[in-house]
Amino acid sequence: MMQPEGESASEAGTAERPTGHALIQSLLKGLDASPGVYRMLDAEARVLYVGKARNLRARVANYARPSGHSGRIARMIRETAAMMFLTTRTETEALLLEQNLIKQLKPRYNVLLRDDKSFPEILIAKDHGFPQIRKHRGARRAKGAYYGPFASAAAVNRTLNQLQKVFLLRNCTDATFESRTRPCLLHQIKRCSAPCTGEIDAAGYAALVADAERFLQGRSTAIQSELAREMQAAAAEMAFERAAALRDRIRALTAVQQSQGINPRGVAEADVVAVHIEGGQACVQVFFIRAHQSWGNRDFYPRTGAGAEEAEVLEAFLAQFYDGQPPPRRILLSHPIENADLVTALLSERAGRRITLAVPQRGEKAELVENARRNARESLGRRLAESTAQARLLAGLAEAFGLPVPPKRIEVYDNSHIQGADAVGAMIVAGPEGFARSQYRKFNIRGDSLTPGDDFGMMREVLARRFERLLKEDPDRQGETWPDLLLIDGGAGQVSAVAGILGDLGVEDIPVVGVAKGIDRDAGKEEFHRPGSPVKALKRGDPVLYFVQRLRDEAHRFAIGAHRAKRAKAVGATPLDEIPGVGAARKRALLAHFGSAKAVSRAGVADLQAVEGVSAALAQRIHDFFHARG
């Protein structure tokens, strides 16, 4: 991140100091025409808005006008009690700094993209003589060719499945490849050419890899023509088995192309980005076009900053979405944006090549944008309908348990273990928009003094760690991470334990409800326990009861998943995990070379050093580790 050239600040002082238009007018004389970033703060020094400016003085002067603002901007100006300014060297730096501050501070009036997950890609790894094809997500550290992004794991898995039918590339790990002595099941069902056992030579496999890459680059027509010629030649030579295999590959290739949906002829590489706003909410739909193929679409629901319009939503979305996500050469938009030149410069700088933004008006590109707009409109309509139903359930929950207002953040806790082993606590989050899976958390139970199977003690540990962190990170409860309601899987004992730990931490105003199985442990007969209140039950068929059951079941599912993952990791643990310098890659290499951790422990220094990636010093360390243990 660049270093700002200069910094100045104006902060609210006493109640007599001006606010709103008057305050902003008084600050103008201290500003010049430099580019930079400004922050608007309320009377409690909370950041309301972060904005950029080509000319700070001119931009801030707009806010000093007493009229002519939208309702959203007028409210923001009225709440402004202080402003802070940072000057930058260039306008592009101002845009970058603005987006970094928005991501860090999450101001109420800014547009904020809340989904920052990476997208899966297809990787043809080239660190082996017989390249592997696999799904990849995250930083591009492995040597190979990357193709993507795909909109979802399902989209990339579907394409990988079809590609294996067509090109017969291996997807096994290098360790599995080296250990094979006969072809695996994938070869038998015609999904792999089995280079591991020499069923295909290096040149033949390289030709398959080249064909796969040509397809992923959009040159599938030539591949189909070549396969068709080979099939006809095989049939003419009466090699009917080979001809049938080639026919199956052609059919699989056709199936891949049909599954891609929209396949534009005139657009080789682009992201199609369209926005629809309704009811104060926005949906941004992104279609990924690569190699003349549609690789899926994803919808996003950025926070609109209390009423931003399409141009502002799109501009903020582009700057935030492509932070860490490589942009394509062309981005097709549904609406023009105000600072297209700045956004273009920023994205081009991030990509290391020229990026273009366009709002097409006719032809195939306009049809692609219109399709994305229709999807955005329909997705937002479904979301608004679901939000209305969710709002009714939250209101019903508040009424059932005597809450002053419907909760905006419900945290549900559960734990999972087998006789105390591999114990994991789990927290899920739900609110007006349903389950907030990005907010889920798991807790590895650390308490060495806990009796195996002590559910009360586990719950105390989880809640203590959760709220100690909340008190440390947000003691004034200014953020959105403090819950309005806690649901605990358990009865009076668990509720009492939770109330006790919250009381010890001085957090006594968050309602706690325990969900117990009730009579005959029958779903529908749940009993609800609250501190200082009689046990409550809800009628069978009550939508609120079903809602609570879904919350509890989701927490249970997440807890079991976390426990199974921890148990699986423990099962795969070996003494090698305890040796400094032996990471996952060297552990795999050692196990592949020697066959087991026990065999590694018996190996001499020279034998250990023969393993790829094991230096003389590390070989000595491994030998000393096992020798000391013996």
pLDDT tens-place string over residues 571-580: 556 777 778 8
Residues 424-438: what's their mean pLDDT?
Answer: 89
pLDDT (0 to 100) of residue 440: 92
How many residues are present in the chain?
630
- Higher-pLDDT residue of 627, 348: 348
Distance, C-alpha 542 to centroid of its chain: 34
Q: Which helix (H) or strand (E) holds 134?
A: strand 132-136
In this prediction, residues 12-34 reach a mean pLDDT of 80
Q: How confident is the model at residue 2 (pLDDT cuts 50, 70, 90)?
A: very low
What is residue 144's three-state secondary structure?
A: strand
How confident is the model over 437-465, as pLDDT tens digits? 889 998 887 766 656 656 777 888 888 88
The answer to whether domain 6-105 has CATH 3.30.565.10 is: no
Query: What pLDDT score does 460 carry?
Result: 83
Model confidence pLDDT, tens digit, residues 291-333: 888 888 999 999 887 778 999 999 999 999 998 788 999 999 9
pLDDT exceeds cutoff 80 at 73: yes
Cβ(28)–Cβ(64) under 8 Å?
A: yes
Residue 629 neighbours by CB distance under 10 Å: 9
Please give the pLDDT value at position 198. Answer: 92
Give the domain ranges of the chain: 6-105, 121-259, 269-381, 410-544, 575-629
The percentage of the chain sitting over the pLDDT mark of 90, rounded to a whole number, equals 39
pLDDT of residue 483: 94
Give the residue from 69, 235, 246, 76 showing the smallest Cα distance to 166. Answer: 246
Per-residue pLDDT, 300: 93
Note the pLDDT of residue 241.
74
Alpha helices in 151-219 (DSSP H): 153-167, 174-179, 185-188, 202-216
CATH of 410-544, one of 3.40.50.1100, 3.30.420.340, 3.40.50.720, 3.40.50.300: 3.30.420.340
Q: What is the pLDDT of residues 185-227, one digit of tens each?
A: 899 888 899 999 999 999 989 988 988 888 888 776 667 677 7
Pull the structure tokens for residue 99.
């987006």
Q: How crowded is residue 597: how many other Cβ atoms within 10 Å of its Cβ?
A: 16
Mean pLDDT of 109-118: 81
Stated pTM of the model: 0.71
Contacts with 507 (C-beta within 8 Å, 6 or more apart), sequence order: 467, 471
Per-residue model confidence (pLDDT) at position 630: 39
pLDDT at 1 over 50: no
Q: What is the pLDDT of residues 552-586, one digit of tens each?
A: 999 988 888 877 776 666 655 677 777 888 887 88
User: Mean pLDDT of all residues in the chain?
Assistant: 85
- CATH architecture observed for domain 575-629: Orthogonal Bundle (1.10)
Choice between 501 and 372, residue whose per-residue pLDDT is larger: 372
Q: pLDDT of 123-160, one tens digit each?
A: 999 989 999 999 998 888 889 999 888 888 888 888 88
Query: Residue 544: is its pLDDT beyond 70?
Result: yes
The class that CATH gives domain 269-381 is alpha beta
149: cis peptide before it, omega within 30°? yes
Cβ(547)–Cβ(393) below 8 Å: yes
The answer to whether 527 touches 491, Cβ cutoff 8 Å, is: yes
Query: Residue 10 has what pLDDT?
Result: 46
**Domains 269-381 and 575-629 equal at CATH topology level:** no
